[in-house]
Amino acid sequence: MITLLKQSESFKNRIAIVSKGKSFSYGQLLKTSKAVAANLLRETTDLNEARVTFLIPPSFEYTAVQWGIWAAGGIAVPLCILHPLPSIQYVLEDTQARIVIADAAYYDFLKPLEDHMGISVITLESILKETIVPLPDIDSSRRAMILYTSGTTSKPKGVVTTHATIEAQITTLVNAWEWRKEDHILNILPLHHVHGIINVLSCALWSGACCEFLPKFDADKVWATIASERLTLFMAVPTIYYKLISFWEELPATTQEVYSRAASQLRLMVSGSAALPVPVLEKWKEITGQTLLERYGMTEIGMGLSNSYRGERRPGHVGLPLPGVEMRLVDSANRPVPENTPGEYQIKGLSVFKEYWQKPEATKKAFTEDGWFITGDIGMLSDGLYKILGRDSVDIIKSGGYKISALEIEDVLRKHDMVADCAVVGLPDEEWGEVVSVCLIPKSKELDVEEVSSWLKTQLPAYKIPRKYMLSAELPRNVLGKVTKNELKKRWPAIAP
């Protein structure tokens, strides 16, 4: 049995999960995940790394299915509940999954794919049915999960981690942030990315702690949960702290006082997935007394750098390498750079991913010859702590903590009848970090931005839809004909639809 599941045997009577108002013990979680595994193993004794996709909102059932796939020897591929059908279909095709386990709410949505792709849509109800079979032994070097991440290519790539990788990603955080079984964390993050899956859910379950779910972020409900004083930990992206501050500012003074006092009781509040603006850190400290711990991570590496749990948390910095993480900052010839000099982060360690799913060329390109993973993030060592300065590619946008490829959106937009060409950029934004923005070159004078935007929503999830539009007769280009996106950003007049 894999370690995460095996060690939960010793917490059997503790509460593992609070979901939809109900509490579930580790004993129930183990029993239900073994039933999922048994149902998956009806025709075989080991899934042998078959990809099993699942479309289930954050919940007890999500967790039992993820553990069940692992216990049966499969590769867990969580699907995003916000994705329209074409994005889901892409992941199903790319992983060559034969089945998708679906919450009842998504059954009709996925049904067309059964006929179209020959994939089996399995209901949660049937996969949770009680049954027992002997479970296979799973070596920790086997592939465990594929998470899709956008990069400098148009389509997202599947990041493959093994059980050993996941264990390394969990244990470095459990040690650095001193997780314990008495901890209680609220998860409001999507569960198809490492932040929610590893930092919140898996660290809690590794430690014998409790993970409580809200199905999606809701500032009112988050503050009410903080006010209940049952949480010891909270982790979120900067946009969420921004939204919590905005909500708090509108409250009556007496409620503000109650909420602020309750928030000051948590032992740790963490921010990551995007740069934490110093004014947000300062405002959060002013209203809660908490200095947010900022850390840096990536789907391919788990978490790499972190400010200190017990020592200094310096605003605008991401701290030092986590235990077990080797990190270097290099110039374009892979030579280490001195302090106060910008360089690119490269990472080594057990928490680094195995490969991009069935993309050997992309995997090879992602590592130096001596095995360092090339992050594409630029940073600097400044007075003993690291900071992030940006990315080496303008084609990667971070909005609300989601990584978005400008190229993917451009490729979809170019399929629209009214669009001759386009260029997508991320414009700085206080709330979202960056907002997706597009300059469209119309095919004819009649380009209707509203229509293009509505059509795009059928193709891409809401967080990838441009919020700012500009129409132009041409795009700025360099002598080689390449669009100069930094130049385009400067031209922006901001005409929203």
Near ligand AMP by CB under 6 A, which window of 102-110, 253-261, 267-275, 283-291?
A: 267-275
* Neighbouring residues of 61: CB distance < 8 A, sequence distance ≥ 6: 19, 103, 124, 128
Please calculate the CA angle 149-347-274 and round it to the nearest 5 degrees: 50
239 interacts with ligand AMP by CB under 6 A: no
Q: State which amino acid sits at residue 151.
A: G
Q: Residue 424 Cβ, how far from ligand AMP at the closest point, in Å?
A: 17
Q: State which amino acid sits at residue 419.
A: V
Q: For residue 261, which phi and psi values (nearest 5 degrees)?
A: -65, -45
Residue 240 and residue 246: Cα distance in Å, rounded?
10
225 interacts with ligand MLC by CB under 6 A: no
Among ligand AMP, ligand MLC, none, the one that 406 touches (CB under a kind-dependent 5 to 8 A) is none
288 interacts with ligand AMP by CB under 6 A: no
Q: Residue 261 Cβ, how far from ligand AMP at the closest point, in Å?
A: 28
Six-digit token string for 142: 């086997």
Near ligand AMP by CB under 6 A, which window of 14-22, 266-274, 306-314, 405-413?
A: 266-274
**142 or 398: whose CB is closer to ligand AMP?**
398
DSSP annotation of 357 reads T
Near ligand AMP by CB under 6 A, which window of 21-29, 162-170, 270-278, 457-465?
A: 270-278
Q: Report the candidate in 303, 296, 452, 309 with the shortest Cα–Cα distance to residue 389.
A: 296
**143 or 192: whose CB is closer to ligand MLC?**
192
Q: Report the candidate in 44, 40, 78, 262 with the shortest Cα–Cα distance to residue 166.
A: 78
Could you tell me the CA-to-CA distances from 240 to 237, 373, 400 in Å, in that order?
A: 6, 29, 8
Across the strands, what pairs with 425? 437
Q: Residue 130 Cβ, how far from ligand AMP at the closest point, in Å?
A: 37
467 interacts with ligand MLC by CB under 6 A: yes
**34 or 193: whose CB is closer to ligand AMP?**
193
Among ligand AMP, ligand MLC, none, the one that 391 touches (CB under a kind-dependent 5 to 8 A) is ligand AMP
Six-digit token string for 373: 């993973």
Across the strands, what pairs with 271? 236, 294
Across the strands, what pairs with 321? 305
Among ligand AMP, ligand MLC, none, the one that 388 touches (CB under a kind-dependent 5 to 8 A) is ligand AMP
Among ligand AMP, ligand MLC, none, the one that 399 touches (CB under a kind-dependent 5 to 8 A) is ligand MLC
Among ligand AMP, ligand MLC, none, the one that 294 touches (CB under a kind-dependent 5 to 8 A) is ligand AMP
**8 A C-beta contact, residue 26 and residue 16:** yes
In the shown chain, the binding pattern of residues 379 to 408 toward ligand MLC, with x for contact by CB under 6 A and - for none, equals: --------------------xxxx------
* Neighbouring residues of 94: CB distance < 8 A, sequence distance ≥ 6: 148, 155, 158, 357, 358
Residue list 164-223, contact with ligand MLC (CB under 6 A): 189-190, 193-196, 216-217
Q: State which amino acid sits at residue 379.
A: G
Helix (H), strand (E) at residue 211: strand 210-213
- The owner of tokens 């209203």 is 287
Q: Residue 58 Cβ, how far from ligand AMP at the closest point, in Å?
A: 17
Give the pairing of strands 302-306 and 293-298.
antiparallel
Q: State which amino acid sits at residue 210.
A: C
Applying CB under 6 A, among 151, 297, 321, 349 the residue interacting with ligand MLC is: 297
Q: Residue 218 Cβ, how far from ligand MLC at the closest point, in Å?
A: 8
**8 A C-beta contact, residue 366 and residue 373:** yes
Instruction: Count the site residues for ligand MLC by CB under 6 A.
Output: 25
Six-digit token string for 342: 């910008």
Residues in touch with ligand MLC (CB under 6 A): 189-190, 193-196, 216-217, 237, 239-240, 272-273, 297-299, 399-402, 432, 435, 462-463, 467
Residues in touch with ligand AMP (CB under 6 A): 149, 193, 272-275, 294, 296-299, 318, 375, 377, 388, 391, 398, 403
